[in-house]
């Protein structure tokens, strides 16, 4: 993986993705269920469009927990899109396998987000989800802000499915904090709830501040 658009000090290709750091400008082939054809997804294009990006890694097409996760994610796709977010699912399958799986698995009928292919495992390795023993990706969810910086990371083992509702909540919090960098969102924060402004006055007084 080469250091392409970023300056050398801002490129973490050899180290992998890091929270709070710019993400390698990846580009992946994908199947686009909404349009019904193959496409390319790239971080550079999303940055130009000022979009947030959710990368949703999963182990494999034609498996068992995976269709339940993608179907759940599909129920929140419209909400995430309204937030200015591009949702991209990723596995080490090919784009051709994605097409076949989308057309045969009834649980995926409402999936319209792009399904990206990482058959070499290059991008899965970069995000730390690649399993060298199986050649599959673990269940990883990554949020990248419009500036191309990684702001959220979640990785589960094969046997634990994720909750897209929590992903929406995290997106709402990250969007709020991009515009309010001096603040912090407490546990279970939702839009309209109180935030925290860290300072010496807040030390030992968090409970009072949230009343």
Establish how many alpha carbons lie within 13 A of residue 166's alpha carbon, considering only the half-sphere containing its beta carbon.
11
Containing H/E element for 141? strand 139-144
3-state secondary structure of 130: strand
Distances (CA, A) of 54 to 3, 22, 142, 184, 196: 22, 15, 6, 21, 25
**Strand pairing category for 130-131 and 52-57:** unpaired
Which string of b and e fits 118-130 if b means at least 16 CB within 10 Å? beebebbbbbbbb
DSSP label of 199 = S
Residues 39 and 53: their CA atoms lie apart, in Å, by 16
Residues 40 and 136: their CA atoms lie apart, in Å, by 21
Residues 162 and 128: their CA atoms lie apart, in Å, by 17
Please say if 53 is a catalytic residue. no
Catalytic residue among 53, 66, 85, 185: 66
* Overall residue count recorded for the chain in this entry: 211
Q: State the catalytic residues.
A: 66
């Amino acid at each position: 993986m080469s250091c392409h658009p970023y300056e050398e000090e801002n490129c973490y290709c050899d180290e992998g993705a890091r929270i709070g750091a710019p993400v390698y400008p990846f580009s992946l082939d994908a199947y686009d269920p909404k349009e019904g054809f193959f496409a390319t997804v790239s971080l550079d294009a999303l940055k130009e469009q000022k979009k947030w990006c959710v990368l949703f890694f999963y182990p494999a097409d034609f498996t068992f927990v995976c269709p339940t996760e993608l179907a759940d994610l599909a129920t929140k796709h419209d909400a995430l899109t309204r937030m200015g977010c591009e949702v991209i699912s990723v596995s080490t399958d090919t784009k051709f396998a994605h097409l076949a799986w989308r057309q045969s698995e009834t649980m995926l009928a409402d999936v319209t987000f792009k399904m990206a292919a990482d058959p070499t495992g290059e991008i899965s390795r970069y995000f730390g989800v690649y399993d060298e023993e199986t050649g599959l990706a673990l269940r990883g969810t990554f949020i990248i802000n419009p500036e191309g910086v990684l702001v959220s990371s979640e990785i589960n083992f094969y046997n634990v499915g994720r909750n897209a509702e929590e992903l929406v909540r995290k997106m709402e919090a990250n969007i709020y904090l991009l515009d309010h960098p001096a603040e912090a969102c407490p546990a279970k924060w939702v839009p309209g709830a109180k935030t925290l402004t860290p300072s010496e006055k807040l030390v030992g007084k968090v409970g009072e501040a949230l009343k």
